[in-house]
A and B are shown apart, each in its own frame.
Chain A
Amino acid sequence: MKKKLITLEVNGENHELAVEPDESLLQVLRNRLDLVGPKKGCDSGGCGCCSVHVDGRVVYSCMMYAAGAEGRAITTIEGIGSAATGLHRLQQAFIDAGAVQCGYCSCGMMMAAKQLLDTVKQPNEDQIRLAIAGNLCRCTGYTKIVDAIRLAAARA
């Protein structure tokens, strides 16, 4: 396989990388850029824990080829807030509402919820549940997750 030289814009920074042509965006984020917020769950576009934003829209990073992501703006959970730079209101709300059990789905849930809050200021419960329909919580802790998203919206 011929490696591809690409420039990826992730969380506002450009990275020059040599990637395999079949390497997924998720693999590049985790293995080359040490951004381990996006998780490898099903790795087949079903569970949502790899969710990131591409040009402001949430996608499954496991289903996107890194070589195809060149020229697009990628945002991971690390890019929306951190303990060092200040938490995003979704991150704070997940803590305050106790919306984390094992935590494996949380980053993907927040990225899916962020697209909703970016477009709808005060979403109702149906809108919240539809926004996270592509994300599985294997602990089944959906109620607290919905509470957290509602709390984040209320704090806007």
Chain B
Amino acid sequence: MTLPNLQDYHRPATAEEAIALVQQHGEGAMLVAGGTFVHGLEVRGLLDNVTALIDIGRLGLGGISREGDTIVLGATTTLAAVAAAEFVGREPAFGALRDALTYPPPQIRNAGTIGGSVAAAAPLYDIPAALLALGAVVRTTGPKGRRELPLDGFFRGLFESALAPGELITGVAIPPPPARTAGAFLKLETNANDLAIVSVASQLTLDGAGRIAAVRIVLGGGVGETYVRATGAEAALAGQQADDKAFAAAAKAVSGDFEPVTDHRGSAAYRRHIAGVYLRRTLTTARERLG
């Protein structure tokens, strides 16, 4: 690989050491976990200013734990380890995360990490869309101590997040989903190597009468510089009976929720159309998962 200004590859043993190295190298510091995103930037010549790679694989940030009913995915937990977790495979509420984890091929699932997928701040990544639908919270540590940042509002622009200089992600906490909650995720891409045209993550909570008590819809892919909460579609669904009529209304409303790009992969009009189709499909799947 080629990083023309790289001076050293560090493998710190503690988060404190990692933070000190990031501060020492400033703008030239690049954190590496699975390396898949770093490599993607490198081959596009976007890392020519990097002077130090700081590998966080030895910080002990991998693994899945429970704090009461909250599930904590350690930052360096691989996508494969999350996909293999029993609750991800079984519980309808984790349906969107389960679906999103099927898109990367095994080689990426075995290397890529949860923290990396969030830190990348690229709406083309599937996993954070599902985590946003789950209402996840990012946990960080840095020069000023630990912070908890809701994923809603974490992404500020393409490759830009709420992380402060020297701050690193230690994990992602998922609050317990309410009863009768299910999710689903779908993505359209021209092929498995290309960037997503549109992705949709939906999370539905129904009350005893089959009405929508809570809903979160997240759009990703080529829908803008960051993920988009589809607030218009959510408003169209809130309090409604979870039937095809309500889903069709939401599919119509979602086209006003974002300003998609037009490029060789698809026009803005096409992306709006697909967002509606995929929203309806994910809502239908989520409803089916509730039985």
Q: Do A and B bind each other?
A: yes
A46 to B80, CA, bound (A): 18
Whether A45 contacts B39 by the Cβ 8 Å rule is yes
A123 in the interface (beta carbon within 8 A): no
A57 to B108, CA, bound (A): 10
B107 in the interface (beta carbon within 8 A): yes
Instruction: Please classify the interface of chain A as helix (H, G, I), strand (E, B), loop, or mixed, using the class held by over half of its residues.
Output: mixed
Whether A133 contacts B32 by the Cβ 8 Å rule is no
B50 — nearest CB in chain A belongs to which residue? A22
Taking the closest CB of chain A, its distance from the CB of B9, in whole angstroms, is 4
A43 to B32, CA, bound (A): 18
Question: How many A-B contacts at CB < 8 Å in the complex?
Answer: 90
A63 to B42, CA, bound (A): 10
- Which chain A positions have C-beta within 8 A of B262? none
* A contacts, CB < 8 Å to B: 1-2, 4, 21-24, 27, 43-46, 48, 51, 54, 57-60, 62-65, 67-68, 70, 112, 115, 130-131, 133-135
Can you list 21 pairs linking A and B with CB atoms under 8 Å apart?
A1-B7, A4-B8, A21-B3, A21-B9, A22-B2, A22-B9, A43-B43, A45-B107, A51-B107, A58-B106, A60-B36, A63-B111, A65-B1, A67-B55, A68-B11, A68-B32, A112-B106, A115-B106, A130-B102, A131-B106, A133-B192
* B contacts, CB < 8 Å to A: 1-3, 6-9, 11, 32, 34-36, 39-40, 43, 53, 55, 57, 80, 102, 104-108, 110-111, 192-193
* Cβ-closest 4 pairs across A and B: A134-B105, A21-B9, A57-B110, A67-B9
